[in-house]
Amino acid sequence: MQETCTVNQTVRYLARKWTLLIILELYKGPGYTRRFSELKNALEGITQKVLAERLRELETEGIVTRHVDASAFPVRSEYTLTESGLGLVEVIRGIKAWALTWKLENAECGGQDCSVCVL
Amino acid sequence: MQETCTVNQTVRYLARKWTLLIILELYKGPGYTRRFSELKNALEGITQKVLAERLRELETEGIVTRHVDASAFPVRSEYTLTESGLGLVEVIRGIKAWALTWKLENAECGGQDCSVCVL
DNA sequence: CAGAATCCCCTCAGATACTG
DNA sequence: CAGTATCTGAGGGGATTCTG
């Protein structure tokens, strides 16, 4: 069946709101790592619910790993891009290249204020 | 603003159900061209409504062009991938490469029965 | 701080029926 | 053949509240 093919699935969750920005935010972090609260602050407008949902998805997809330090207080949760997650950054780069080539009206998107332009 | 960045937009409509498969079906056609009814038959399970919607989207995004031959009867409508559309095929190829590398359980997806595997 | 649980709205996409 | 129009159900995602 066509729907079983992973390419569809991949694009599907990549396209969920915030997913891309979360991946790029992790990519910018030291060791490709960020804490929950850091992500929350960096991604202005995201709610905890959505952030938690997206991170869970990415975790079950093997794109990020979670490390919880329960010994500390308050609890720390750190999220790190896996190797496959880094591979996805390449994919995103490809999409951006396409967008810059064919969507000229968005060329201004090379500015620093755009999270995606870190690529 | 983050949401204004085209990379998000691009992934968003790419991820709409059927969009990917439509692009690939056009890619397989002679001169990257297919008729409405050919697409409808090739994409088993798609409804006319959804097919028409997706094609309109792709047209306004400059990814396909439409040529209507009204002189013929019945009317013929042909859809052709543009250059930017061909560029998207490369992007899809990248996503597939990622999926094959990191989603091993879907390796069987190299079969001929999968539309995406034409890549 | 890092979440889980509810509620609510809105878009997507399927089914069906109709037209030039 | 190539659409358009309308109705409907499922799921995404935002806001808010509660907990260890």
Instruction: Give the burial string for B78-97 (b: 16+ CB within 10 Å, else e).
Output: bbebbebbebbbebbebbbe
CB under 7 Å from any atom of strand D: which residues? A 16-18, 45-50, 74-75; B 35-37, 40, 48-49, 52, 55-56, 66, 68, 74-77
CB A20 within 8 A of CB A14: yes
**Residue A115 placed within a domain:** no
pLDDT at A1: 40
Q: Residue A103, exposed/middle/buried by CB under 10 A (0-12, 13-18, 19+)? A: middle
What are the structure tokens assigned to A53, written together? 């949902």
pLDDT at B110: 53
Count of residues in chain B:
119
pLDDT at B9: 86
**Residue A47 placed within a domain:** yes
pLDDT at B116: 60
CA of A17 to C1' of C10 (A): 15
pLDDT at B112: 47
Domain count across chain A? 1
**Residue A59 placed within a domain:** yes
The CATH number covering residue A22 comes to: 1.10.10.10
For chain B, 119 residues long, the average pLDDT of each consecutive 10-residue run is 67 91 95 96 93 95 92 87 95 91 66 58
**Residue B111 placed within a domain:** no
pLDDT at A16: 93
**Residue B108 placed within a domain:** no
**Residue A43 placed within a domain:** yes
CB A82 within 8 A of CB A62: yes
pTM beyond 0.85: yes
**Residue B110 placed within a domain:** no
What are the structure tokens assigned to B8, written together? 């998000």
Long-range contacts (CB closer than 8 Å, 24 or more residues apart) made by B65-71? none
CA distance B39 to chain A (A): 14
Q: Which phi-psi region, left, alpha or beta, contains residue B37 (left: φ > 0; alpha: ψ -120 to 50)? A: alpha
Angle value at C-alpha A11, between B50 and A47, nearest 5 degrees: 100
**Residue B95 placed within a domain:** yes
Sites in chain A below the pLDDT cut of 50? 1-3, 111-113
Task: Identify the domain containing residue A96 by its residue range.
Answer: 6-103
pLDDT at B3: 39
B114 → closest Cβ in A5, A20, A117: A5
Q: What is the DSSP string of B76-119?
A: EEEEEE-HHHHHHHHHHHHHHHHHHHH-GGGGGGGSTT-GGGG-
The residue behind tokens 């996805």 is A88
Mean residue pLDDT of chain A comes to: 86
Interface of B with A in 64-83 (CB under 8 A): 83
pLDDT digits (tens, 9 = 90+) for B67-92: 998 777 788 899 999 999 999 999 99
Backbone angles phi, psi at A33, to 5 degrees: -125, 140
Mean residue pLDDT of chain B comes to: 86
